[in-house]
C-alpha cells in the first residue's frame, strides 16, 4: 500500500504539487486581471499623462515601459512558454534576446513611421503566439506534421508581432512629437527592464518546480492551461474586433 510522509496524505499532495498550483494560480490571476476590455492597454491615468507631457521625459517613459511589460499578461505568458523547457542560462539568454530584438524593432519603427495595426487583430495574433508555444512545448508539431519548426525563428517572428502590439497602443495615444525618439528609446529600455524583472520571477518559480518529482508529470497540464489562456485571449480580441 502506498504511504505518504506524515499523517495527512492530502497535505502531502498539496505540498508536492505546490509549484504547479502556483503556476496555475498565476495564469488564473492573469486572466482575471484582463480588464474591462479585450486587450491589455496603458492604464487610463498613464494614458492621460502620455497625452499631456511634451519634451524629453526619459525616467517617466522608462517607468511606463517597465510597467507595461510587467503587467502585460500576454507577453508574460509567451515568455513563460519560451523558457518552459530551457535549463541553461545561455539558451535562455539567446531566446529572450531574440524576443527582445523582435519587439524592440517593430515597436520603435512602428511608432516612428506611424505604422499601426488594429489593436484587436494584433493582440489576437499575440494570443495565438501563446497557443503556438504551448503546442510546441507539448510536442504537437512533431506528432501532427512529423517535423519541428525552428523555435528560434518562431520566437523572433512572434517578437515582431508583440512589438507591433506595443507600437499600436502607443500610436493610439498620439504622444507629442517633441522628444519622441529619446522617449521611445527610454520606453523600450523600460520594457526590457520589465522583461528582466518578470523573467527573474518566472525563473525563480520554475527552478523550485523543476526540483520536484512531479515537474514532468505536471508540465503537460501546465502547458494545456497556458494554451487555454491563449485561446481565451484570442477570443477576447476577436470579440472586441467584431463588436467595436
User: Which of 40-49, 83-92, 208-217 is most confident?
Assistant: 83-92
| Lowest-confidence segment of 24-33, 182-191, 206-215, 230-239 by average pLDDT | 24-33
Question: What distance in Å separates the CA atoms of residue 169 and residue 83, rounded to the nearest whole number?
Answer: 26
Output the nine-digit C-alpha cell for 140: 504537437
Output the nine-digit C-alpha cell for 102: 523582435
Q: Which of 97, 65, 63, 67 is nearest to 83 (CA)?
A: 97
Average pLDDT over residues 157-177: 88
Contact criterion met (CB below 8 Å) for 40 and 71: yes
Output the nine-digit C-alpha cell for 69: 511589460
Average pLDDT over residues 182-203: 94
What's the confidence (pLDDT) of residue 99?
Answer: 96
The mean pLDDT of the chain is 83
pLDDT band at 166 (very low <50, low <70, confident <90, very high): confident
Contact criterion met (CB below 8 Å) for 55 and 178: yes
Kindly report the pTM of this predicted structure: 0.82
What's the confidence (pLDDT) of residue 144?
Answer: 94
Amino acid at each position: 500500500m502506498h504511504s505518504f510522509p506524515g499523517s495527512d496524505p492530502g497535505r502531502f499532495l498539496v505540498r508536492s504539487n505546490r509549484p504547479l498550483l502556483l503556476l496555475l494560480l498565476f495564469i488564473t490571476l492573469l486572466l482575471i486581471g484582463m480588464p474591462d476590455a479585450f486587450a491589455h492597454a496603458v492604464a487610463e491615468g498613464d494614458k492621460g499623462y502620455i497625452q499631456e507631457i511634451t519634451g524629453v521625459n526619459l525616467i517617466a517613459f522608462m517607468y511606463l515601459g517597465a510597467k507595461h511589460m510587467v503587467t502585460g499578461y500576454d507577453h508574460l505568458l509567451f515568455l513563460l512558454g519560451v523558457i518552459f523547457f530551457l535549463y541553461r542560462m545561455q539558451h535562455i539568454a539567446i531566446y529572450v534576446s531574440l524576443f527582445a530584438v523582435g519587439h524592440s524593432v517593430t515597436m520603435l519603427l512602428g511608432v516612428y513611421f506611424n505604422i499601426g495595426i488594429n489593436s484587436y487583430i494584433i493582440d489576437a495574433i499575440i494570443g495565438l503566439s501563446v497557443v503556438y508555444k504551448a503546442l510546441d512545448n507539448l510536442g504537437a508539431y512533431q506528432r501532427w506534421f512529423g517535423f519541428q519548426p525552428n523555435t528560434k525563428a518562431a520566437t523572433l517572428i512572434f517578437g515582431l508581432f508583440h512589438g507591433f502590439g506595443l507600437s499600436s497602443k502607443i500610436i493610439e495615444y498620439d504622444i507629442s512629437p517633441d522628444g519622441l525618439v529619446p522617449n521611445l528609446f527610454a520606453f523600450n529600455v523600460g520594457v526590457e527592464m520589465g522583461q528582466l524583472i518578470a523573467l527573474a520571477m518566472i525563473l525563480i518559480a520554475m527552478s523550485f518546480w523543476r526540483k520536484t518529482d512531479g515537474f514532468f508529470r505536471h508540465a503537460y497540464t501546465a502547458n494545456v492551461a497556458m494554451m487555454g489562456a491563449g485561446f481565451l485571449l484570442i477570443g477576447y480580441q476577436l470579440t472586441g474586433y467584431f463588436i467595436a
